[in-house]
Structure 1
Amino acid sequence: MNNRTEILDLRTSLEVLRGIDGQIVETDVEVDPEAELSGVYRHVGAGGTVMRPTKVDGPAMIFKNVKGHPDASVVIGLLASRERVGILLGCEKENLGKLLCDCALNPIMPEVTEEAAPCQEVIYRAEDPGFDLFKLIPAPTNTPVDAGPYITMGMCYATHPDTGLSDVTIHRMCIQSKDELSIFLQPGSRHIGAMAERATELNQPLPISISIGVDPAIEIGSCFEPPTTPLGFNELSIAGAIRRQPVKLHKCVSIQENAIANAEYVIEGEIMPGVKVVEDQNSHTGFAMPEFPGYNGHASKECWLIKVKAVTTRKNPIMQTVIGPSEEHVNLAGIPTEASIYNMIDKALPGKVTNVYAHPSGGGKYMAVLQCRKTVHTDEGKQRQAALLAFSAFPELKHVILVDEDVDIFDTRDVLWAMNTRFQGDRDIVTIPGVRCHPLDPSSIPEYAPSITDGGISCKTIFDCTVPFHLKERFVRAQFMDVDPDKWLK
């Protein structure tokens, strides 16, 4: 199977993984979606910034017996291994960022199909007796103090009221009542937010479809951010480029919008103009859900309200979910981050950065490791120029570590080796204080340091662990005989 062109939905992804040892496990033991499901997967393969003990690079997991949801199952951790992402996107794990970069530059736009959509095999309308999101959607809570059941892998698709241009992004959404969701839209950060704000100015609701359980190429592509994908750029076109064919959309049954035709679930609704929701209005815990830095996110008082009109599903649908601070979030956020950084640097300094890694300890957002190449004396200093470009390519980036081309950027031990043998703190640290970074960084608050004037302000830092060009010959690593070990290991 050519995975880049033949995996077009979640079910095919799962079948591919079933054929590879160690990539997926399934259980028929009943599990409670309220905190227990995530508690189990923490030990199976969550990784990321999840509190230890947790397992890194474990298998994905399918729960077939979910309490209160006899006809559904839940999959978690599908993208919690970089190797697994590579399998599902048909690419070596080290080159995923380059693949996404190429696909963002060569998009294939989605198409609306008139064929029967798998996502509409079963239809539930809000006016139907007994319609209840709590019963229809097996959305888990990550921890016992979550604001409620969260939809964490919903592909939110909407259209700008003025331009008619559509876009897809992922947001945290909490089930608030039988026909209402809250959606957290960080001001100015995502395209759906801009659409909702404009619809409110026009005093009209914004139709929105939320597709859950889709092709992993769509999930990864949906996580690009400006400036790589500016307002009006439809990220479904990146998934189209990955698969070398358009993503298929289908008209919704209750609103004037499209949804992803091959999804397991689609929630159709409208973002109500000017209506704000307290995220934890049902739990009153003060928390939302654990976010990618590894801490419980605080409940927002400024969530937008989605009034749900219908839910459509496949028969025996598969809910897909993610643990907020897990390795899965790292890959979802980090691989597009790598693509954005690599794209900008390669345009300005072609050939000087050979690869980029958004490190898991930064949740795929806070830290990047850049592999740099110096071939002539005038390349000295360009590595720091590359770091500045990285901050421009991805504004939420906080730390950049620069290493030479003989360092494996995907091996933290090797990166720290470079820091210990090719780095002096008094000459190789560059700090840029007072820059807007990411609001979920718990250290970016005025109480943490006098230099921080507002929440979300950080000191961006470059750690230059590259050898000065004129000293390269003194820093050659010990060379070993190049042999094929299979002769001795068979």
Structure 2
Amino acid sequence: MKNKDKIPVHDLRSALELLKTLPGEYVETFTEVDPHAELSGVYRYVGAGGTCQRPTRKNGPAMVFHNIKGFRNTNVAIGLNGSRKRVGHFLNCAPEKLGFLLKDSVKHAIAPVDVSTGNAVCQEVVHLATDPDFDLRKLLPAPTNTEEDAGPYITMGLCYASDPQTHESDITIHRLCVQSKDELTMWLTPGRHIDAFRIKAEAAGKALPISISIGVDPAIEVAACFEPPTTPLGFNELSIAGALRGRAVEMVQCKTINEKAIAHAEIVIEGELLPDVRMQEDINTHTGRAMPEFPGYTGEAKAAIPVIKVKAVTHRVNPIWRTTLGPGEEHVNMAGIPTEASILDMVERAMPGKLLNVFAHSAGGGKLLAVMQFKKSSVNDEGRQRQAALLAFSAFPELKHVILVDEDVDIFDTDDVLWAMQTRYQGDIDTITIPGVRCHPLDPSQVPEYSPFITQQGMTCKTIFDCTVPFHLKTHFERSTFKEVDVKRFLPDFE
């Protein structure tokens, strides 16, 4: 399909319609599936990829389940952002240029706008928590990803809240567990903006209104994953999604709380983060486990985390639930492409034209590992590649490892990156370690029991692997050059 003929994407449904026109990018099933462990178990094989338990399939299709056990008239979609190629289709961009697209979108942000409740499809159907039969567990087909999870999890909920003092708003994705008929627990990693809003509200003894929009335009799902310093406190990431689409994201006033939600969402949960209320995350199962997270391990259930008291659920007629697998390639793309944009922006401002591209690698879940393609043009550039790596750690604080490669290495081809490491790297002189730095608490190796140099959970030794050729030796490391030919002369259908 030619670009001009492509279905324009503006919400989840149009994104699915686009995928249906692209060979190999969409599958569906009408066989009944149990949301308890079975649904995620199926998609692990079909297309999860990322850091999921092997065997799994990288770059498999997105999938829709039409027959969810216990839930009539609700479908479940998973894996839409599960390949860079699909994200490229959604954003009309070559997959290898997505980081540059997002970098530029931050600079051309378009603020969201409000629409009337009559124009918001997310409020076609309204369920109030005051209704006697209201029960989140019967309304929401939130999957339990494994049989040891703390409970059903909302993994693709776009959480929207506002600073109670400045009224600046933020949107992000958090781990939400369905705990009762009208309660969710919310785990917020330290430093997240909504947690800063919650702390302010709690200090004043007030609840923090929060909306959770589920099933939205993939551009919003990706934009919401930007983090400081690229998007500092007070920067609404919805404006990045506006830039990606060339028009503002439409918001609507919630029915029961003083907050807004994404107007085109399939489902919206309205609630309040309660002050001074905490709940054990696995209070219903006592497994000690939460859910599978991006590094490929199941996170521990937290002993006491904030609680959202739900006031209402609104949705479209016959809504589509949106979910993802924590360790899957979908997380890699949603977290990783904004990471790439942040690194590209910071390094370009410091040393223009030297960093050619960045890949937030699948093995790090889009967060822990970056491969940086650096060009040395003269002997004066020697060492600047390592400065670029240091800037990357500043651009994205949760980054753990950087692999530096030359311009002739394909950063999206792991075999090529590892080839550079085998032939252009000496461990004793090309390894730079930075111990005692704060990173991401979900990395299980970042605990004092693992290393005597780690004093508390969430600290790490950040490492640069410099796999670039010393400039004065470049002529000794030239790859074998093959003749350029037109393969289609011999294989007309060759892609």
TM-score range, shorter chain: over 0.9
CA contact (8 A) 2:7 2:14 kept: no
CA contact (8 A) 1:4 1:243 kept: no
Q: Which residue of 1 aligns with 2:318?
A: 316
Corresponding residue SS for 1:402: strand
Deviations 1:197-254 (A, max 9, x none): 0000111111000000000000000001111101000000000000000000011111
The answer to whether residue 138 in structure 2 is matched with residue 135 in structure 1 is yes
Q: Which residue of 1 aligns with 2:149?
A: 146
Corresponding residue SS for 2:334: helix
Shift of 1:187: 2.4
Q: Percent identity, aligned pairs only?
A: 63
CA contact (8 A) 1:22 1:59 kept: yes
Q: Which residue of 2 aligns with 1:184?
A: 187
The answer to whether residue 158 in structure 2 is matched with residue 155 in structure 1 is yes
Q: CA separation in 2, counterparts of 1:434 and 1:116?
A: 52
The answer to whether residue 457 in structure 2 is matched with residue 455 in structure 1 is yes
Aligned residues: 489
Q: Which residue of 2 aligns with 1:76?
A: 78
Report matched runs for 1:90-489 at 5 Å. 90-114=92-116, 115-188=118-191, 190-489=192-491
Q: 1:151 to 1:183 in 2, by over 3 A?
A: same
Deviations 1:364-383 (A, max 9, x none): 01000000001111111100
Q: CA separation in 2, counterparts of 1:2 and 1:136?
A: 39
Q: CA separation in 1, counterparts of 2:320 and 2:122?
A: 11
CA contact (8 A) 2:7 2:18 kept: no
CA contact (8 A) 1:4 1:89 kept: no
Q: CA separation in 2, counterparts of 1:446 and 1:172?
A: 25
Q: CA separation in 2, counterparts of 1:20 and 1:179?
A: 40
Shift of 1:2: 5.7
Deviates more, 1:405-414 or 1:100-109: 100-109
The amino acid across from 1:120 in the alignment is Q
Q: CA separation in 2, counterparts of 1:141 and 1:42?
A: 13
Corresponding residue SS for 1:249: strand
Unpaired runs of at least 5, structure 2: none
CA contact (8 A) 1:354 1:373 kept: yes
Q: 1:408 to 1:205 in 2, by over 3 A?
A: same
Structure 1 residue ranges (4+ consecutive) displaced by more than 2 angstroms after TM superposition: 1-6
Q: CA separation in 2, counterparts of 1:5 and 1:403?
A: 38
Unpaired runs of at least 5, structure 1: none
Q: CA separation in 2, counterparts of 1:287 and 1:477?
A: 48
The amino acid across from 1:123 in the alignment is V
Deviations 1:273-326 (A, max 9, x none): 111111000011001101111111000123211010000000000000000101
The amino acid across from 2:102 in the alignment is L
Q: CA separation in 2, counterparts of 1:478 and 1:390?
A: 31
Q: CA separation in 1, counterparts of 2:440 and 2:431?
A: 21
Q: CA separation in 1, counterparts of 2:47 and 2:381?
A: 41
**TM (normalized to structure 1)?**
0.99
Q: CA separation in 1, counterparts of 2:30 and 2:374?
A: 48
Q: CA separation in 1, counterparts of 2:57 and 2:6?
A: 28
Q: CA separation in 1, counterparts of 2:437 and 2:307?
A: 31
CA contact (8 A) 1:146 1:289 kept: yes
The amino acid across from 1:110 in the alignment is P
Q: CA separation in 1, counterparts of 2:4 and 2:153?
A: 34
Q: 1:101 to 1:4 in 2, by over 3 A?
A: farther
Shift of 1:105: 1.6
Q: CA separation in 1, counterparts of 2:35 and 2:109?
A: 37
